[in-house]
Amino acid sequence: MRETDIDTYENIPRDAVVTANDYRDGQHFALHTHRRGQFAYAASGVITVFTRQGNWVVPPQRAIWVPAGVAHEMSMAGPVTMLNTYIRDPACTRLGLPAHCQVFGISPLLHQLLIQAMDIPALYDETHREGLVMSLLLHEIADMPPLSLNAPLPVEPRLAYACRKLLEQPSLDIGIDDMALQVGMSRRTFTRLFRQQTGISFVEWRQQACLLAAVVRLGNGEAITRVATDLGYSSPSAFTSVFRRVLGKAPSRYFPKNTP
């Protein structure tokens, strides 16, 4: 297994350091933080990230940005090759990177820059080719498109607990009345508080939770028909329609055929 001790890079006097790590299916990292921002690229496999604010799913050849100091958990679905770029705060500010977690698309150029950066020493010469590659890498990271691959978590303890349970086994069959009963609220109070704390309706959130679960399972090679049925969609075509509308591509085209 290829793995790098991240702590050795926290104090390197360079804006960015890139590391490469291989993880086994199901490997989990408990709640932790980094002193640098983390741009985690799933070269292969699927990564899930949990914080107190929500959860995110990172399909193959996409990435997630986790700002410095944000406590998060990470889990691997399938064998995962992760290329991490750890970025110092001044560079994050200069580049305008977000202060919250966000999944991003990856351009072919950024993919190649990350591959090149794996072989660049941590104390690279900032005035020569290696420094220019790392500078371009940072600017390309800042230019990547955000992707809608998260489900925000409410702060209210009963709502947060119920949402975490639903994320474990999401289904369109779980309705508003089911959730309201579970948390001991009236339907009206539940729907009002849910939107107030997450910014979206429960129906929208439930759909997002199902899509996140679908991304993990499809990324692991499960059949579209099985995933659609398990999540409560009326048919594979109905599932495909929602998937395409929200994520921009049909499931059959969303995942790369060959990952490095």
CA distances from 25 to 5, 51, 75, 251 (A): 20, 21, 9, 22
How far is CA 91 from each of CA 16, 66, 106, 144, rounded to the nearest angstrom? 8, 14, 20, 16
Whether residues 124 and 236 share a domain: the answer is no
Token pair for residue 162? 């119920």
Whole-angstrom distance, CA of residue 121 vs CA of residue 5: 14
Which DSSP helix (H) or strand (E) runs through 84?
A: strand 72-87
pLDDT of residue 8: 60
In this structure, which amino acid lies at residue 21? N
In angstroms, the CA 16 to CA 138 distance is 8
pLDDT in tens, 44-59: 999 999 999 999 999 9
What are the pLDDT digits (tens) for 177-222?
Answer: 999 999 999 999 999 999 999 999 999 999 999 999 999 999 888 9
Cα–Cα distance, 108 to 241 (Å, whole number): 27
Is the CB of residue 162 less than 8 Å from the CB of residue 53? no
Give the pLDDT of residue 248. 87
In a domain, residue 260? The reply is no
Helix, strand, coil content of the chain in percent (nearest 5): 40, 25, 35
Number of domains in the chain: 2
Q: Which helix (H) or strand (E) holds 134?
A: helix 129-142
Looking at the structure, tell me whether residues 125 and 205 fall in a common domain. Answer: no
pLDDT at 94 exceeding the cut of 50: yes
Residue 91, domain extent: 6-147
Most confident stretch, 123-132, 136-145, 248-257: 136-145
Residues of the chain above pLDDT 90, percent: 87
Say if 166 falls within a structural domain: yes
d(CA 222, CA 18): 32
More confident residue, 18 or 7: 18
Contacting residues for 88 by C-beta, under 8 A, at least 6 apart: 14, 15, 16, 36, 37
Same domain? 70 vs 107: yes
CA distance 206 to 128: 50
Same domain, 167 and 84: no
Q: Which of 4, 1, 48, 42 is nearest to 26 (CA)?
A: 48
Report whether 151 contacts 209 (CB < 8 A). Answer: yes
Length reported for the chain:
260
Say yes or no: 184 and 112 in one domain. Answer: no
Q: pLDDT digits over 16-38, tens only?
A: 999 999 999 999 999 999 999 99
Asked if residues 100 and 106 have their Cβ atoms less than 8 Å apart, the reply is no
Write down the mean pLDDT value for the chain.
92
Task: Taking residues 123-131, report their average pLDDT.
Answer: 93
- Give pLDDT tens digits for 71-89: 999 999 989 999 999 999 9
**Is the pLDDT reported for residue 1 higher than 90?**
no
Among candidate residues 107, 130, 147, the one where a domain is terminated:
147
**What pLDDT does residue 15 have?**
94
Instruction: Please report the sign of the dihedral spanned by the C-alpha atoms of residue 25, residue 31, residue 35, residue 38.
Output: positive
Taking only the tens place, the pLDDT of each residue in 98-122 is 999 999 999 999 999 999 999 999 8
Using an 8 Å Cβ cutoff, are 15 and 120 in contact? no
pLDDT at 257: 67
CATH of the domain at 48: 2.60.120.810
Residues 101, 12, single domain; the answer is yes
Q: 94, 125, 147 — which closes off a domain? A: 147
